Amino acid sequence: MRIQSLQNRSPFLLKLTILIVLIIFFMQYTSMSLSQNKINASENIFENQSITRQANNIARSRYKSDETKNTTNQSKIDVTKTASVNEPKIIDYKEVSTNQSDVSGRKYTSYIKTYNNFEKEQSLCLSNSKTKQLSKKRNCPNSGIVTVREGGRLGNQIWEYISVWLVAEETSMEPYVPSCIKSRLSTLFDNLNLPVIRDIYHCAIKETSKNQNIILPMYIVKPELLAHRINDIKQVFSIKQTLLVQSQKKLHEGVKYLNSTFHTFVGVHARRTDYIVYLKRKYNIVPQVTNFFESAMSYFENKYPKTIFIFISDNPNWCFGEFGAKKNVYVTGRGTKHSPELDVAIMASCNHSIIDYGTFGQWGALLAGGETVYYEISPKYPSDLLGKHLSNWHTIKLS
Ligand SMILES: *[C@@H]1O[C@H](CO)[C@@H](O)[C@H](O)[C@H]1NC(C)=O
Ligand SMILES: *[C@@H]1O[C@H](CO)[C@@H](O)[C@H](O)[C@H]1NC(C)=O
Ligand SMILES: *[C@@H]1O[C@H](CO)[C@@H](O)[C@H](O)[C@H]1NC(C)=O
Ligand SMILES: *[C@@H]1O[C@H](CO)[C@@H](O)[C@H](O)[C@H]1NC(C)=O
Ligand SMILES: *[C@@H]1O[C@H](CO)[C@@H](O)[C@H](O)[C@H]1NC(C)=O
Ligand SMILES: *[C@@H]1O[C@H](CO)[C@@H](O)[C@H](O)[C@H]1NC(C)=O
Ligand SMILES: *[C@@H]1O[C@H](CO)[C@@H](O)[C@H](O)[C@H]1NC(C)=O
């Protein structure tokens, strides 16, 4: 009897099992395809769309967008592509964790549990960020973090670093820079305080409204935000002592060369090479740099007797050809090429600045802190925006 009844029941059990398996399979399939769709639609990266929307609104309202440059480099999964250019895209790390050459969206389905899972920061870096000594385990972030993609050379990377800090301050989120940027800037500055992402590798990413993350695009500049925090620059960036010592030597080389008794040093940054093409393409201008430098130098000569001009350039020979005959011009880096770090330090050691264009000159002048005369490019150009907000920055009428 017992055996009979079992035999009778077993087809039922089998059917039930098959049904359950089918239901589970169906549910899995549905939820998989749902999450696939969500992730494809780049607005809806988080599981709970309601939370996502709320958090985006909070973060956006905290974030006063003053982005002015269309600096997006068109990498395939550039986070700014789906957002408006002027607005940082608010995303979580699933997006950067994927293979950057892949836009299919398929890889997003593998869920990421800790910051460690997104390719060891390297997805934000162009250069190699393997510098172990920088990392220090930290408490996990309470809210979302602000970080940035690495792009460009020294001047760009200083902007990228400070932009993380500025946006974090603005949004009350926590700033973390990729190690590649921090180690790049460590050749110029001492005691860079921002933590690196690998400090929080052990932390889980919790997808809550408090855990929105912002990844700023490469080449970002934040002139207006910076202008409001200009007094903090010296604290964020302190130039290495060895570079400062070398810079003083260079300045005195100039003094000696000119047989001068100096009073005032004006650092002049002349950006040549690639930038001229960029300005033509981007702003459709062909700058009259020689005219500009002449005008700016006369301005300082009139204001401070015994001014000497220290030229810093990616093409020192051009500078020497144009201005080398003047009694108060010393062109640095003509014999042996300086490192970019030393060039920034020399500019920063001068009392005032003349800059034509480019992020490098902007930082030389910002770190010098004195009066800055810049070439007027366009109301939206970073130097012009700094000029609009900083009382010691101004442009000059060309003679
Ligand atoms: C999503 O978040 C909202 C707001 O916190 C909450 O009211 C809602 O129940 C959540 N929905 C799901 C499916 O978890
Ligand atoms: C920004 O650059 C992209 C790619 O070059 C271009 O498609 C877009 O129109 C530009 N946007 C603005 C506001 O200039
Ligand atoms: C953007 O990146 C691509 C590929 O990495 C490169 O070829 C291109 O020159 C870059 N564009 C700019 C404006 O830097
Ligand atoms: C990205 O995908 C390409 C093509 O599938 C592959 O060759 C490459 O190694 C992948 N890169 C990374 C970092 O996974
Ligand atoms: C999501 O991505 C997959 C893989 O590329 C694609 O087949 C599918 O059509 C996409 N779905 C949506 C809604 O874009
Ligand atoms: C500085 O003085 C030396 C020696 O008197 C002279 O040879 C040199 O030309 C002077 N340099 C300049 C820039 O006047
Ligand atoms: C001008 O710069 C020189 C060289 O760095 C420095 O020794 C001097 O103190 C500065 N002068 C003023 C007024 O800041």
| 266 within domain boundaries | yes
pLDDT band at 92 (very low <50, low <70, confident <90, very high): very low
Location of structure tokens 């996502």: 52
Position 362 pLDDT exceeds 80: yes
Mean pLDDT of 224-234: 91
Mean pLDDT of 282-291: 86
| 4 within domain boundaries | no
- Do residues 214 and 345 share a domain? no
Q: Which of 393, 63, 395 is nearest to 220 (CA)?
A: 63
| 30 within domain boundaries | no
- Do residues 252 and 333 share a domain? yes
For residue 259, give the ligand 6 atom closest to its CA: 1
Give yes or no for residue 104 CB within 6 A of ligand 4: no
Position 367 pLDDT exceeds 90: yes
* Å from CA of 122 to ligand 4 middle: 13
Domain CATH for 302: 3.40.50
* Å from CA of 348 to ligand 6 middle: 27
pLDDT recorded at residue 10: 65
pLDDT recorded at residue 232: 92
CA–CA distances in Å: residue 249 to residues 186, 245, 269, 369: 22, 6, 18, 20
Give yes or no for residue 109 CB within 6 A of ligand 5: no
For residue 152, give the ligand 3 atom closest to its CA: 14
How many whole angstroms separate alpha carbon 356 and alpha carbon 286? 12
Determine which of 6-10, 155-159, 169-173, 245-249 has the lowest per-residue pLDDT on average. 6-10
Determine which of 66-75, 88-97, 171-180 has the lowest per-residue pLDDT on average. 66-75
| 11 within domain boundaries | no
Judge whether 393 and 382 are in contact, CB under 8 Å. no
Q: Which of 35, 47, 48 to mutate to test the pocket of ligand 1 (most atoms within 8 A of CB)?
A: 48
Instruction: Say which residue, 87 or 251, is predicted with more confidence.
Output: 251
Q: Which of 32, 36, 102 to mutate to test the pocket of ligand 5 (most atoms within 8 A of CB)?
A: 36
pLDDT band at 133 (very low <50, low <70, confident <90, very high): low
- Do residues 262 and 296 share a domain? yes
Instruction: Say which residue, 137 or 86, is predicted with more confidence.
Output: 137
Amino acid at position 66, single letter: D
Percentage of the chain lying above the pLDDT 70 cut: 69
Position 81 pLDDT exceeds 60: no
Judge whether 377 and 285 are in contact, CB under 8 Å. yes
Asked which of 221, 236, 251 is the last residue of a domain, the reply is 236
| 47 within domain boundaries | yes
| 24 within domain boundaries | no
Judge whether 376 and 395 are in contact, CB under 8 Å. yes
- Do residues 162 and 63 share a domain? yes
DSSP β-bridge partners for residue 310: 267, 330
Position 5 pLDDT exceeds 60: no
Give yes or no for residue 50 CB within 6 A of ligand 6: no
Position 57 pLDDT exceeds 80: no
Burial of residue 46 (CB within 10 Å: 0-12, 13-18, 19+) is buried
How many whole angstroms separate alpha carbon 62 and alpha carbon 210? 13
| 189 within domain boundaries | yes
Give yes or no for residue 101 CB within 6 A of ligand 4: yes
Position 257 pLDDT exceeds 60: yes
How many whole angstroms separate alpha carbon 382 and alpha carbon 247? 26
Determine which of 174-178, 258-262, 367-371 has the lowest per-residue pLDDT on average. 258-262
Judge whether 301 and 352 are in contact, CB under 8 Å. no
* Closest residue CA from atom 8 of ligand 4: 99
Half-sphere exposure at residue 70, Cβ-oriented, CA atoms within 13 angstroms: 8
Give yes or no for residue 100 CB within 6 A of ligand 4: no
3-state secondary structure the chain: CHHHHHHHHHHHHHHHHHHHHHHHHHHHHHHHHHHHHHHHCCCCCCCCHHHHHHHHHHHHHHCCCCCCCCCCCCCCCCHHHCCCCCCCCEECHHHHHCCCCCCCCHHHHCCCCEHHHCHHHHHHCCCCCCCHHHCCCCCCCCCCEEEECCCCCHHHHHHHHHHHHHHHHHHCCEECECHHHHHHHCCCEECCCCCEHHHHCCCECCCCCCCCEEEECCCCCCHHHHHHCHHHHHHHCEECHHHHHHHHHHHHHHHHHCCCCCCEEEEEEECCCCHHHHHHHHHCCCCCHHHHHHHHHHHHHHHCCCEEEEEEECCHHHHHHHHCCCCCEEECCCCCCCCHHHHHHHHHHCCEEEECCCHHHHHHHHHHCCCEEECCCCCCCHHHHHHHHCCCEECCCCC
- Do residues 258 and 382 share a domain? yes
* Å from CA of 327 to ligand 6 middle: 10
Most confident stretch, 150-154, 203-207, 277-281: 150-154
- Do residues 246 and 386 share a domain? yes
pLDDT recorded at residue 324: 95
- Do residues 200 and 275 share a domain? no
- Do residues 189 and 263 share a domain? no
The end-to-end CA distance of the chain, in Å, is 113
- Do residues 203 and 272 share a domain? no
Number of structural domains (the chain) is 2
Tokens representing 62 are: 């905290």
The DSSP bridge pattern shows strands 174-175 and 264-270 to be unpaired
Mean pLDDT across the chain: 75
- Do residues 95 and 223 share a domain? yes
Position 389 pLDDT exceeds 60: yes
Mean pLDDT of 106-124: 50
Mean pLDDT of 264-275: 90
Asked which of 236, 260, 294 is the last residue of a domain, the reply is 236
- Ligand nearest the Cα of residue 51 is 1
Structural domain boundaries, residue 143: 43-236
* Å from CA of 108 to ligand 4 middle: 14
Asked which of 236, 268, 291 is the last residue of a domain, the reply is 236
Report the pocket of ligand 2 as residue ranges, CB < 6 Å. 70, 72, 74, 85
- Do residues 81 and 200 share a domain? yes
Instruction: Say which residue, 136 or 77, is predicted with more confidence.
Output: 136
How many whole angstroms separate alpha carbon 359 and alpha carbon 278? 13
What angle do the packed helices 154-171 and 340-349 form, to 10 degrees?
Answer: 70
Amino acid at position 321, single letter: G
* Å from CA of 219 to ligand 3 middle: 11
Q: What is the pLDDT of residues 297-356, one digit of tens each?
A: 999 999 998 999 999 999 999 999 999 999 999 999 998 889 999 999 999 999 999 999
Give yes or no for residue 276 CB within 6 A of ligand 6: no
Report the pocket of ligand 7 as residue ranges, CB < 6 Å. 251, 265, 349, 351
Instruction: Say which residue, 23 or 306, is predicted with more confidence.
Output: 306
pLDDT band at 243 (very low <50, low <70, confident <90, very high): very high
Determine which of 74-83, 194-203, 220-229, 352-361 has the lowest per-residue pLDDT on average. 74-83
The DSSP bridge pattern shows strands 372-374 and 352-355 to be parallel
| 152 within domain boundaries | yes
Location of structure tokens 């974030």: 63
* Å from CA of 341 to ligand 1 middle: 51
- Do residues 295 and 180 share a domain? no
Mean pLDDT of 350-364: 95
Give yes or no for residue 104 CB within 6 A of ligand 5: yes
Determine which of 6-15, 64-73, 154-163, 204-213 has the lowest per-residue pLDDT on average. 64-73
The DSSP bridge pattern shows strands 264-270 and 307-313 to be parallel
Number of residues in the chain: 399
For residue 100, give the ligand 4 atom closest to its CA: 1
